[in-house]
Chains A and B, each alone.
Chain A
Amino acid sequence: MIARTVLTLAVLTLQEALRRRVLRSLVVMTVVLLSLSAWGFYRLDSEFGTLTSGEARLAASTVLNLVMFGLSLIAALGTAFLAGPTLAGEIESGIALAVMTRPVRRSAVLLGKWLGLVAFGSGFVIVAGLGQLLIVRITVGYWPPQPATGLALLAAQTTVLLTLGLLLSTVISPMASGIVAVGLFGATWIAGVVGMVGEAFGNDGMAGVGTVSRMLLPTDGLWRGAMHAFQHPGLSQFPAFEDSPFLSMAPLTATYLAWAALWVAVVLGLSALAFQRRDL
């Protein structure tokens, strides 16, 4: 009974994502980004003809991370603005009334919506990300060391953000929840950069900012793990690159991954609690 509700809602949410305008804008933004990057990588290869093949790969790997960041930003925007309306919007408009008066548990409805969003967000990140990797391979002949891990971590980052969007949408209005989720995503990224600069200059206070923000919202931490999986292994040999916001020196630890999973579970549980107590 509960499994059927979860599955029905997951399919419904996927259907919503595919049929609403959000998908079209996502596709347009992604196509623009991918074609720009294809052109850029093509120019990179022809303009820097004097570089050795190793140097060219290092450059390509750095630019790849930059483009991937753009991609993760699109995914973040897309899912956050999908997660918000899907719950808060349905409560506001009255769509939720007819659904919730069926013999369903609210937590099952929430879980179904979450699953649908995760499938959609991850699907987008994997398809678009894979497209980008192929573009880089065709244009400059660079293939990252751990493409699957990198894409999985990008999908995990999207999952974290949409879970946050879902929690926010149980307590605040749909638009506001999208904006706050994207704002927090950006803030954590900046805090991560501040932390890196702090580490580079040996400033413990600044370094702490990055660490704390990575614990509070694991998007930036997962993003760094993804970067590490995409970038050329040779890059870690250059300490000069250490404070670049588009490079990551160390892979993610299992503990951090476990923390991210726990974080998602706790936030999802809190959303279920908030939704359960809410008058519709």
Chain B
Amino acid sequence: MSTDPTVLAEAAAPDAERLLADLPPTPAVWCSGLRKRYRKQTAVDDVSFTVGRGEVLGLLGPNGAGKTSVIKILLGLVRPDAGEVLLLGRPGTDPQARARVGYLPELFRYQPWLTAAEVLALHVRLAGAAVPAREQRESLALVGLTDRAGDRVGGFSKGMQQRLGLAVALVARPELVLLDEPTSALDPIGRADVRDLLLSLKERRVAVLLNSHLIGEVERVCDRVVILDKGRVAASGTLAELLGQRELRLRLDEVSAEAEARLAAAGQLTHSGDSYTVTLPADQSATMVPDLVAELVRLGVRVHAVEPARISLEERLLDILRAGTGGDR
């Protein structure tokens, strides 16, 4: 048997390649321990999360929670005081990490002296991508700006500039898109368009990091949510994990102490007047609600209404944020 090292290396090379190819793809975004202080104000404090390939992650939180700062750190616009960033497997400090990244800033403005089509061509050139003119026009059509391709951006309304911003974010065939409040200037139709756009990105397995105040928007399109509060990650998880709890709203009459105890045994109970709300645990059995109602009736309670409800992301968000403030005091 040959012990020539070059022969061994040649034999090993295809193996190594196969090994690399078999590795799961690196996440679209990986960040760890991000910190940023502006003078005395801590904007971002030990934030870590990942966005998988093809995953849509929602970034939620109140004003000043540090969402935009986190996005700017990921994109190298802001230098973090500490922490590491990997975009599509490359360190964030390397400009090439952003080659397949699209970004719509919260403060979106484009060269007013260029036409919409010229702005897209500029971004394609800067991205180093070979996107034919036809495909660039398709990006404009996608955001409903086909008719305005030859008009100067200076004459665009805010909503149209935001649509252009979306086209800019999507034009260079990105594998990761970061959208900072993508619907802030859009009318209801524009918002619905953005929702469809997000769903089509999801279909094409483009990873999306979405920062939005519109919780309904996030709830409809996001696979996972990270909630930021005062620069820290207050909670994170899939929607099912965060919204696992359900509640049961009842309108009841003649509730005895015994019946109330039975209700309290089913889950956390709150009531005002004749309306009772029971927060049910996530792992409830399918027969739990009918069983409870049957028992209430047996205990002489008159049941006017039973309404199972899912806790909305909004309520959950408010819960988490209020708990956070309570903990500080």
Contact = CB atoms under 8 A, between A and B. Distances in A.
Contacts of B109: 93-95
Contacts of B72: 279-280
A9 to B, nearest CB: 8
B103 to A, nearest CB: 4
Interface residues of A, number: 24
B76 A101 contact: yes
Contacts of A12: 111, 122
Nearest to A95: B109
A97 interface: yes
B271 interface: no
Interface in A97-111: 97-105
Interface in A50-78: none
Contact of A105 (B95, B107, B127): B95
B87 to A, nearest CB: 10
Contacts of A97: 77, 103, 105, 107-108
Contact of B101 (A19, A20, A99, A101): A101
Nearest to A93: B109
Contacts of B108: 94, 97-98
Contact of A280 (B77, B97, B165, B168): B77
Contact of A103 (B78, B98, B110, B111): B98
A12 B96 CA distance: 21
- B interface, how many residues as a size bin? 20 to 34
Contacts of B103: 97-98, 101
Chain A interface helix/strand/loop/mixed: helix
Contacts of B101: 101
Contacts, number: 69
A280 B77 CA distance: 5
Interface string B68-97: 000010011111000000000000000111
B128 A101 contact: no
Contact of B77 (A4, A20, A279): A279
A240 interface: no
A16 interface: yes
A2 to B, nearest CB: 9
B40 to A, nearest CB: 16
B123 interface: yes
Interface in B50-77: 72, 75-77
Nearest to B95: A103
A4 B113 CA distance: 21
B311 to A, nearest CB: 36
Contacts of B110: 95, 98
A94 B127 CA distance: 18
Contacts of A19: 113
A35 interface: no
Contacts of A105: 95
Interface of B: 72, 75-79, 95-99, 101, 103, 105, 107-111, 113-114, 122-123, 125-128, 165, 168
Given A99-B123, A101-B98, 10 more contacts: A5-B126, A8-B126, A94-B107, A97-B105, A99-B126, A101-B101, A102-B123, A103-B99, A279-B72, A279-B79
21 contacts: A8-B125, A12-B122, A15-B113, A20-B113, A93-B107, A94-B108, A95-B110, A97-B103, A100-B76, A100-B77, A101-B75, A101-B98, A101-B101, A102-B123, A102-B126, A103-B97, A103-B99, A103-B127, A104-B95, A277-B79, A279-B77
